[in-house]
Structure 1
């Protein structure tokens, strides 16, 4: 849309500022928010961080690298069925993890760790993982990149922007294939190891001011930073067929999502594995018991190599309710895959157990497959 001026747009550029602000607060996606501000100077004045509703924007799919030399990363917008490019040299040849607030945690072959936000062009350095990882013999840097860190989770809120001048948050790393834990913050020079007895871990999330983790067996623990240990919160739900487990906050409750794969014994097959089922459980914090959820109501989940996301589908254009949007995060279990991960993506309906594609293109990587990132502009 071309910019307008007083000669071409007349009364459109003279609309009351209060009306313009009201419109910006109900725009359904980030793309429309940016376009609104590009119309003319008066409309641009209404495009501020105070008027940007972060909860109304469907997560974007951050694609795998097109080339190891590329300084750009592509982001797929479902609401427009369109791909956007962002300058992101900090993610080049790095293992990436999607985080709240539009942030992406990156881990390089040099063991350096950063938080990068491509939407606001900001970078925060975290201590190197070389300060706490165990020796791994004569393995290549490429192998260490995909094998040391299973996930990085941060205590950044999606509801308020991070103070870039004085960032105050914690980061937790699941490392040594999830068998060990460590935490850090921008204010410290290293990582602090955590004594854990309930390992290995699959996933972590920041829920009501505390980090929670789920282990291989489905038990959930809470982190105690002061005592530098974990405390068991709940045992596993009665569900024994699984390949991946996730934790996610949805409508104020803590959910455990179980993902089941179907695997091929033929190693030469281009698609050695595919997702066939999801099961969802909610944790009753008063009884510490899991309850099976047959549907998510108007909510939908976004799972992958990112902090799991829950959204209200009716508030987002093109988002299907009672569904799980999943990306391919089966990295470590199939690390010998030559082509890379990225083919096992889709939308799972809890209503009829069907699976459809949410992205029909090809985007694969041996170390950093596609993942979900909320498009936050501030």
Structure 2
């Protein structure tokens, strides 16, 4: 009788267990394959719409503008200096005051000139007395010469004396006029209408003709001008604008904020082009009755060079550039998808762009273009009306 072996006895059960495990593994693999196949056959979820902002195309008249940087310059800016040396006795105006032409500004010590004028008048009176005496003698000599009582030479000498005294009297009167003019210089008057600047001297100081700074400045603020430069290529347009009957409008804006400051008109262009920069200087005039512009101020100048009537305008942000820098826009369709529309740029500035290839009322994407392509679905936020207070 053979010996009992546990290994031999369990071997059939081990085979059955291995077969069952293999069958279970095949079943699991099949189930997993079916699940993956079902997942691959399911449709992919649509991507969410891209949030964008849009701008509407408007048909309106658009002014073509040329932009430059200008400097505000007064039409007249006078440094008030004295025309004689003397002590400043009184200032009749204050700093920042608006004065009229001919208004009294300051007074100098006039006592030396008053004395010189009195002396000139006394000299005139003395010479007039001598002239009258010489004229009387001349009349007597003419009577005596008729009777041959005196020689002819005596009459001729007296005639010369009278003429000499008459010339002396004329010189005395000229001296008096000169002293009166010098005396008028002690009263300093404004040569123009304008605004008084900061004073350079105080009352009691000795002022001289050669003082470079003068007493103060008088600056005309209204009207005022702005000087700016334009490239020489703009000369035909500038000549057309200055040659017309109606001056071309010019706007001045603040350099930092872009706030409109004043509305003026083109005045004149320079007679030559700058040799160094190839630019021509241009001057515009502004009424400036409210003092919006100040001498020496830097402003942004916008010159209207033409008018596009019925132009299709939109915000500059709608414009995109593709290959070879060809412009295009994303236009919103009724189903909230976008299409790529090639356009032509007719005119562009900081506020607007005039396009060809779109229609009035089209809504163009102005923000969010970087995530778009033709056919992309978008969402446009609804603008909330601002409540009125």
Structure with the bigger RCO (C-alpha within 8 Å, sep 6+) is: 2
**TM-score interval, smaller chain:** under 0.3
**Larger % of helix: which?**
2
Q: Higher Cα Rg: structure 1 or 2? A: 2
TM-score by length of 1: 0.20
